[in-house]
């Protein structure tokens, strides 16, 4: 059957594919627009595979927070260039993935990729990403996904830094005021804590740091009992560096975060998630 210019135009607008590709897809689909979209998707998957090995460490972190502050989702979606990351289409796609992570409680990139795409239920998220790769022409990588659910007596807060270079979600006492929630999330973004407090640091991490501290102390040639004291002191410094409540508060370095939270009415931070652009892609 004859393929009209209007059909080609409509398919191009729908998929972003080239004119000749659209003509061939429509001819293969006997003029059926939706079938032609599927034809292009299939070809797009092949095109995506060719781009999959290309470095994708730009992109953005997107965060979604429910209106009631009970649920949140956070994703790191990588691409090859800042130019693509700044486009409305890319940002809307990243935000849609964060919204889906929040709504469905998706806890990993693998779980998200296997899920039906909320904006395109006929395809998985992985297939939807492949479609974007074919359309945009850059490798796109969903490197990290997490979600959070507030517990009894807590609520969630979020913060996006530098237009999506860093994203944070925190679970905090429900009585905390908005300023405190924002201050904690901003501090997590800036100070890079790894744990909330020393009592949740895994024993394996503590043991490793203690051994390193002992080795460094032993190298000074001091007596064994002195080495032990030096090692414990170094371990204490480690906790101060990596534990949120022991870090100097970024807005007032003379005050520890834990002291600031106590002054705000014994506010407690239960957990947090911090995604910095590029860190997830580096782990792939």
Q: Which domains does the chain show, CATH number per domain?
A: 5-51 (1.10.8.10), 58-196+267-283 (3.30.479.20)
Structure confidence at residue 39 as a pLDDT band (50, 70, 90): confident
* Predicted confidence (pLDDT) per residue in 268-278, tens digit: 999 999 999 99
| Confidence at 46, pLDDT banded by 50, 70, 90 | very low
Q: What pLDDT score was predicted for residue 45?
A: 46
Cα torsion angle, 95, 100, 105, 110, sign: negative
pTM above the 0.75 mark?
yes
Point out the least confidently predicted range of 12-16, 42-46, 260-264: 42-46
């Amino acid at each position: 059957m004859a393929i009209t210019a209007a059909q080609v135009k409509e398919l191009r607008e729908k998929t972003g594919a080239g004119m000749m590709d659209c003509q061939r897809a429509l001819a293969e689909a006997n003029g059926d627009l939706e079938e032609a979209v599927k034809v292009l998707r299939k070809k797009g998957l092949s095109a995506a595979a060719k781009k999959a090995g290309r470095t994708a460490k730009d992109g953005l972190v997107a965060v979604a927070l429910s209106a009631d502050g009970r649920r949140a989702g956070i994703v790191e979606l990588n691409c090859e260039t800042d130019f693509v990351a700044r486009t409305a289409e890319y940002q809307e796609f990243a935000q849609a993935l964060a919204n889906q992570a929040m709504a469905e409680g998706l806890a990993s990139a693998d779980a998200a990729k296997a899920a039906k795409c909320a904006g395109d239920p006929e395809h998985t998220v992985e297939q939807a990403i492949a479609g974007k790769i074919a359309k945009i022409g850059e490798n796109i990588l969903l490197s990290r996904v997490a979600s959070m659910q507030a517990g009894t007596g807590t609520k969630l807060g979020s913060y996006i830094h530098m237009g999506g270079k860093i994203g944070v979600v925190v679970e905090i006492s429900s009585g905390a005021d908005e300023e405190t929630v924002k201050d904690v999330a901003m501090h997590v973004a800036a100070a890079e804590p790894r744990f909330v407090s020393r009592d949740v640091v895994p024993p394996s991490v503590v043991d490793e740091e203690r051994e390193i501290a002992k080795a460094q102390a032993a190298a000074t040639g001091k007596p064994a009992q002195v080495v032990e004291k030096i090692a414990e002191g170094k371990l204490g410094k480690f906790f101060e560096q990596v534990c949120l409540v022991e870090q100097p508060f970024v807005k007032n370095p003379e005050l520890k975060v834990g002291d600031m939270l106590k002054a705000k009415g014994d506010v407690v931070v239960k957990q947090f998630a911090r995604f910095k652009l590029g860190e997830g892609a580096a782990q792939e």
